[in-house]
Amino acid sequence: MLVPIKWMSQYVDINTDDKTLADKLTLTGSHVDAVIDYNKEVINVKTGKILEIKQHPNADKLVVTQIDINEAEPVQIITGAKNISEGDIVPVSLEGAVLPNGLKIKKTNFRGLPSYGMMVSYEELGFEDKLIPKESRDGIIILPKDTPLGKDIKEVLELNGSALEVEVTFNRPDCLNIVGMARETAATLGTKFKFPEISVKNEQGDIKDYLNAVEIEDEDLCSRFYAKVIKDIKIGPSPLWMQRTLMDAGMRPISNIVDVTNYVMLELGQPLHAYDLEALEGRKLVARRAKKDEKIVTIDQTERILKENMLVIADAEKPACIAGVMGGFNSEISDDTKVMVLESANFNPKSIRETSKKLGMRSEASARNEKPMGHMMVELASLRACQLIEMIGAGTVVGGYLEAGKNDYDAPIVTLRPYRSEMLLGVDIPVEDMLKSLNTLEIESTFDGEKIISKIPYFRTDIEQEADLIEEVGRLYGFENIESKPLTGSTRVGRKSEIRLLEDDMKTIACGMGLYEITTYSFISPKTYDNICAPADSPLRNYVKILNPLGEDFSSMRTTLIPNMMEVIQRNSNRGVDDAKLFEIGSIFIPKSQPVTEEPYEKQKLCIGMYGNYDFYDLKGIVEGILSRFGIKSSIKAVKDNSTFHPGRTAGLFINDELVGIYGEASHQTIENYGLDHKVYIAEIDVEKILENKNTEWKYEALPKYPSMVRDIAVIVKDEVLAGEMEEEIKNVNPHLIESVKLFDVYKGEHIEEGYKSTAFSVTYRNKERTLKDKEVENIHNKILQVLNKKFEATLR
């Protein structure tokens, strides 16, 4: 926001230079980004009155003018300007003049006639195009008729001074105006603040003869609505002082009525809006929600389609304004307007912000209305605008007003404990100084012997608790005056949780085995459960449904990582990647109940996916390799009832007889659902169960002193007998002397009865304390055969 210092000086005594003021305001919390110098290098440019305009005898597009600059003889100037008339007072750059762009004016000959200077436009005086008044764009500056002749244009247009470019934070809308910044400046410099004196001296008539009613239908979106009527409107340019004030503040003058509303908005922070009374059906204004797909043509002549949650100001039939954002084209002030209604209202900030964003319409008014300003400024701003309209002769204020909503203010009480201030600020500030600081900010405060009791003024909507008052005290005391001290108190070293550390280790191990990590979204489409062939009553379909999804494909929280893994495999396969080994460690979400009323259970899972030149045993080796790194011994059992997996090539993973995962080949239907023509191997393991059973307290043993003995045994068993179960039974025959059991052959075919298979194991025996004898090994070997025969009806091959 631009704060012209000359304007602000009308409300506060400034006893320092601009740079020091900027630094002090920054130190007290009003961040000043820059000090902008408005002084323009203009030499020998004076005001003059056009006495005569004649056509140039030798040029169709030029005219010859005689200009009185309050000297002995008029000055002859030749120009091509189209917006000048005899009697106009204009700025004239005389021979020897220098303009801000460096141009030096000399006597010039135009088609045989001399010109002793040049009439000047705003552009030539260094003004930005966006700030130039409508009537002076692409033309000469036309000055007021009562402007003295021969005056230096720097004095007439006040081409001097400076402005502060201030960054106002969202919580301080009271500073988003000149008066608010003047209040801050007074508190910062310790000088006196003067609020503008507001009075309307010559009201005529009764507003009820012009306006029938103002109403609020939706008080949650509009808390106060205040209306005044002005008659005998005379549309024209605003006075030069007002135009220049607005230009210095970064706004372009439009017309006297519009300029007044903009002036008051910048001065007090309260946006206003003016309506042509004759354009209002039923001569009433209503603050209400828009109807579904209701339309309005805004002042930029664009048709807008409104949503039902948007607030409009409507007459008896249709919207006349998008509340707090932009006015309607049909009810705007025009050159023919004779009677107008001046609206001043307080709106719901959230509603204005959402409406402005959805419609793509942002303005100085919406930027203020979308912040919490309170409703007490509504009446003051309206009366100030009436005062200015009366002052500049733009209209006559009609007596009385109409209003709806809140019109009183019950000041909140906030208390401050002095000892608490010392704890938070780290410095002991006397209570007297605290009271002085708060009262300087117009926060009426007293001390009752134990605490400071403060009444919060209507314009400080940001102060709600004790810490807010302490901040006010601290910033006026000066944070730069508070000695820097090291932090005190106990500190803790931050560290990852055990499960996060486990995940890191698992990722390192998996990457070391040649797997690539993937990361996928936690929300998936419910249709993916069909793709992995989950039955209708599968627990996997008990998912958390997202109420506001990005789309159908992201409408549920996943209960398994397998669909995401299959989609990644599908994508890579379709793009020509012939083989891949992938893994993901991520969360699944299990609702505690349906419908979901509380936070669901979140579990961590490890998912491994492989395709290409790999088989079941590659996946088995990876799973066992990961578990062995955490000191976990596992067992497997065949799984035939999981429709996601192949019924004969899938194993359940058990730790201490507890199912912790599943791995195997994806079923033909699952592979077909993803459009794949090759085998896919998938594993999904509960990471939390790995953490529970993790045992990395490694024990080391000396290399064995005594030799081992190896015996092979081949038995014939039925096809359904699992080799893994046979291995476990062999080990249990004598765990002390049987060092290892390895399956090395499975044979079906000639000499083997159909429905049976030959399974061969290599058994390693060792005694750690002495050399084994053949007789001992033979006895154990025979016992193994007996156990296999008893358990599995195995016969020696």
Strands of the sheet with 516-517, listed across from one edge: 516-517, 580-590, 601-611, 680-686, 658-666, 645-655, 635-638
**Which residues, at least 6 apart from 402, have a Cβ–Cβ distance to it below 8 Å?**
207, 208, 211, 213, 214, 226, 227
Query: Can you name the residues that pair with 126 across neighbouring β-strands?
Result: none
- Distance, in Å, from the CA atom of 191 to the CA atom of 202, rounded to the nearest integer, reads 34
Q: Is 751 exposed, middle or buried (0-12, 13-18, 19+ CB in 10 A)?
A: exposed
Cβ atoms of 272 and 385 within 8 Å: the answer is: yes
Residue 248 annotated as binding site: no
Query: Can you name the residues that pair with 605 across neighbouring β-strands?
Result: 586, 686
| DSSP collapsed to 3 states, 319-367 | EEEECCCEEECCCCCCCCCCCEEEEEEEECHHHHHHHHHHHCCCCHHHH
- Distance, in Å, from the CA atom of 346 to the CA atom of 375, rounded to the nearest integer, reads 5
**Cα angle value 229/233/238 (rounded, 5°):** 110
Residue 139: other Cβ atoms inside 10 A: 17
Q: Which amino acid is at 677?
A: D
- Distance, in Å, from the CA atom of 722 to the CA atom of 759, rounded to the nearest integer, reads 10
- Distance, in Å, from the CA atom of 334 to the CA atom of 340, rounded to the nearest integer, reads 10
Tokens 């309170």 belong to 374
The tokens of 636 are what?
């497997």
- Distance, in Å, from the CA atom of 761 to the CA atom of 577, rounded to the nearest integer, reads 38
Does the bond joining 595 to the residue before it have cis omega, within 30 degrees of 0? yes
Question: 105-130 in b/e burial notation, b at 16+ Cβ within 10 A?
Answer: beeeebeeeebbbbbbbbbbbebeee
Helix, strand, coil shares of the chain, percent, nearest 5, are 30, 30, 40
Residue 471 annotated as binding site: yes
Q: Which amino acid is at 58?
A: N
- Distance, in Å, from the CA atom of 434 to the CA atom of 468, rounded to the nearest integer, reads 13
Residue 776 annotated as binding site: no
Q: Please state whether 366 falls in left (phi above 0), alpha (psi between -120 and 50) or beta.
A: alpha
Orientation angle between helical segments 240-248 and 256-268, nearest 10 degrees: 50
Q: Which amino acid is at 350?
A: K
3-class state of residue 75 by DSSP: strand
The tokens of 399 are what?
């007596």
Cβ atoms of 84 and 50 within 8 Å: the answer is: yes
**Which residues, at least 6 apart from 577, have a Cβ–Cβ distance to it below 8 Å?**
none
Residue 472 annotated as binding site: yes
Cβ atoms of 33 and 165 within 8 Å: the answer is: yes
Cβ atoms of 314 and 343 within 8 Å: the answer is: no
* Nearest alpha carbon to residue 245 among 269, 266, 272, 270: 266
DSSP state of 772: P
The binding site consists of 462, 468, 471-472
The binding site for Mg(2+) consists of 462, 468, 471-472
